[in-house]
């Protein structure tokens, strides 16, 4: 059962899903239904291009270029170094949390969606969890079709994420994404209908 919502605050849906499961497309479907969506990855991109760059350069010399984080350079520095990755996350999490909290506070809507890849791994509290999912062979096919992706990179990314089965076990709602866009859209609409019914109960 989704959490009970406090009066005057939006109902917060946390949207997650392993790499290649269709989470970004599901986020777009929520946005198309008029629900404000916070994109954690986009927030990180903006921070890398702005206020986080100086801090990251100080922690990881050589990771910026022209006043912005060079993602490829930063990736090389932290790749295969769990301690460095943890340091980077410790720098970024408070900044992303600040943007996320401001988004929720400023959202003039009864329902908002937080699109966060590592939602369950970080233990962020939301009112309901939606997991985008697809069969393993579909996930593999989608991810390995991405430019520059290799089996080794794919394995490393999966190693950082909770398994799809574990995510599904913690979900209030699922969006199955391998049966076409219309099917996924219908599932998103059904989720919103259910949440609105609970809000109006």
Q: Is residue 1 in some structural domain?
A: no
| pLDDT bracket for residue 176 (50, 70, 90) | very high
Domain residue limits at 55: 41-106
Using one digit for the tens of pLDDT, what is the confidence trace for 96-128? 999 999 999 999 899 999 999 889 988 899 999
d(CA 33, CA 36): 9
Are both 118 and 174 inside the same structural domain? Answer: yes
Give the other-Cβ count within 10 Å of 148's Cβ.
5
Question: Is there a domain that residue 168 lies in?
Answer: yes
Last residue of a domain, one of 106, 125, 152: 106
Per-residue pLDDT, 122:
87
- Asked if residue 152 lies in contact with residue 36, where contact means CB atoms within 8 angstroms, the answer is no
Residue 2 lies in a domain: no
Do 133 and 79 belong to one domain?
no
Report pTM. Answer: 0.89
Residue 7 pLDDT more than 70? Answer: no
**Per-residue pLDDT band at 82 (split at 50, 70, 90):** confident
pLDDT of 2 reads: 56
- Lookup: tokens for 127: 């009112």
Q: What is the CATH number of the domain that holds 155?
A: 3.40.50.300
Domains: count for the chain: 2
130 and 31 housed in the same domain: yes
Report how far apart, in Å, the C-alpha atoms of 96 and of each of 27, 47, 113, 146, 160 are.
18, 8, 15, 26, 19
Q: Are residues 178 and 92 in the same domain?
A: no
């Amino acid at each position: 059962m989704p959490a009970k919502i406090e009066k005057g605050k939006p109902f917060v849906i946390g949207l997650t899903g392993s790499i290649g499961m269709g989470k970004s497309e599901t986020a777009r479907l929520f946005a198309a239904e008029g629900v404000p969506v916070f994109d954690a990855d986009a927030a990180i991109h903006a921070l890398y291009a702005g206020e986080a760059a100086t801090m990251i350069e100080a922690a990881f010399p050589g990771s910026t270029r022209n006043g912005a984080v060079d993602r490829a350079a930063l990736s090389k520095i932290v790749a295969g170094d769990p301690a460095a990755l943890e340091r980077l996350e410790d720098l970024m999490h408070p900044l992303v949390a600040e943007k996320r909290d401001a988004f929720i506070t400023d959202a003039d809507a009864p329902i908002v969606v937080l699109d966060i890849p590592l939602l369950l791994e970080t233990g962020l509290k939301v009112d309901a969890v939606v997991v985008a999912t697809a069969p393993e062979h579909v996930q593999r096919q989608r991810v390995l079709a991405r430019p520059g992706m290799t089996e080794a990179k794919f394995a490393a990314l999966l190693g950082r994420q909770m398994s799809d089965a574990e995510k599904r076990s913690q979900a209030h709602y699922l969006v199955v994404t391998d049966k076409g866009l219309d099917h996924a859209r219908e599932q998103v609409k059904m989720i919103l209908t259910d949440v609105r019914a609970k809000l109006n109960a």
